[in-house]
Amino acid sequence: MPPRGPLPAAPARSAALTRDLRWLLRLHRPALYVWAALVVVLAAALLWLAGPLTDASADAWRDYDACRAGVRCSYDQDAILRYKDVYSYTTFALTALPFLVAAWSGAALLGRELESGTAHLAWTQGISPVRWLAVKLAAPAVLVTAGTGLLVWLHHHAWSAANGRVDTAKSWYDGLTLHANGPTTVGFALAGLGCGALAGLLWRRALPALATGLVATVAVRVLVDRLMPHLWPADTSVTSLSRGIRGVGITVDEGIVTSTGAHLPRPHCPPEDAVHGCTSTYAKADAVGFFQSYHPVSHFWPLHLITTAVLLALVAVLGTTAFALVRRSTGGTARNRRTGAAG
């Protein structure tokens, strides 16, 4: 019969984790209710958009397109406008979620607790600073990922339902639609959580952390928007001067092609030559055609996946920095407590 040893520590760790999660949910219950309500409302609006609103708008556009010039006919203009409004509101709301997460993370999740001393009180109740931060970040990260991921999927579903049926539906490469339709929005939300948390640890005050986390998340959004088109090889098309530039998608670069095959920026065309199609300007520049480097619709998922990977790498850096900061700022206190306990 094998000798009896100490009981495994797994049940104790599981009980401690459950206790920590209950404490976290109780402490941030209002934020949890607001997040759940926001996700439910936006999900309902996107389902409404994908179904009845898209169908009504598509029918109205079909009636409008069937109208002959100079002949009065009826179509449901309200359905067209209603679809446009709901699409704009839901897309804007989904775009704003990462910034809301950043503001909450900096102000309420960490900044306020460090400012009021609640965090230090928790550290004296058997919760180490590192475990405190881990629970603080892990639970919101799961909820943010699940909620934002669901809304992104529903938005893509609503956009796909209208694509090709509603004449005013946004193109796939529209600035807000591009991210709202893919996983980069989840990456932005997690980056907002990380930026806010790091700001809270640095400032240890709610209001400065809110502002810093928000500004940092805006900076991440702007930089990633500029970086995204260069993360995947673009397609290049060459067309004649008479045909013009025809590529549809995210344009990376464009210009003229000379008789030697060189690719140059498009020359400035003065107004007096613009009325003639800029023929003199292009002739002086030795232009024989146009070139365009762009991302077609087939690049949608490669662009999204590699950009999301970059954002997740940034989230990992932010998280590592946050834990290193907590260890450095509380290490001396922890050592002093251990020394006192040993004495």
- Contacting residues for 204 by C-beta, under 8 A, at least 6 apart: 111, 114, 115
Query: How many angstroms from the chain centroid is the CA of residue 70?
Result: 46
Q: Do 64 and 102 contact (CB within 8 A), yes or no?
A: no
Distances (CA, A) of 122 to 125, 126, 128: 5, 7, 8
Dihedral angle, C-alpha 333, 335, 338, 339, nearest 10 °: -110
Helix (H, G, I), strand (E, B) or coil at 338: helix
Query: How many angstroms from the chain centroid is the CA of residue 234?
Result: 22
CB count in 10 Å sphere of residue 66? 9
| Amino acid in position 336 | N
**Quick one: which of 88, 92, 98, 97 has its CA closest to 219?**
98
pLDDT at 19: 62
Question: Order of strands, edge to edge, in the sheet holding 235-240?
Answer: 235-240, 287-295, 250-258, 263-264
* Structure tokens belonging to residue 330: 């509380």
pLDDT at 335: 47
Profile the chain (343 residues) by mean pLDDT over runs of 10 residues. 52 58 70 94 98 96 80 86 97 97 92 83 80 89 96 98 94 96 98 96 93 97 96 94 89 93 92 85 92 96 98 97 89 47 41
Helix (H, G, I), strand (E, B) or coil at 220: helix
Distance CA 273, CA 151 (A): 49
Distance CA 106, CA 99 (A): 11
- Contacting residues for 314 by C-beta, under 8 A, at least 6 apart: 191, 194, 220
CA atoms within 13 Å, Cβ hemisphere of 50: 17
What is the pTM assigned to this prediction?
A: 0.88
Cα R_g (the chain), whole angstroms: 27
Phi/psi-derived region of residue 233, left when phi > 0, alpha when psi is between -120 and 50, beta in every other case: beta
Q: Do 293 and 251 contact (CB within 8 A), yes or no?
A: yes
Query: How many angstroms from the chain centroid is the CA of residue 26?
Result: 28
pLDDT at 341: 43
Query: How many angstroms from the chain centroid is the CA of residue 262?
Result: 38
Q: Do 210 and 182 contact (CB within 8 A), yes or no?
A: no
Q: What are 242-247's contacts with CB under 8 Å, separation 24+?
A: 244/290, 245/290, 245/292, 246/292, 247/292, 247/294, 247/296
Query: How is the chain split into domains, by residue range?
Result: 12-66+75-231+300-342, 250-295
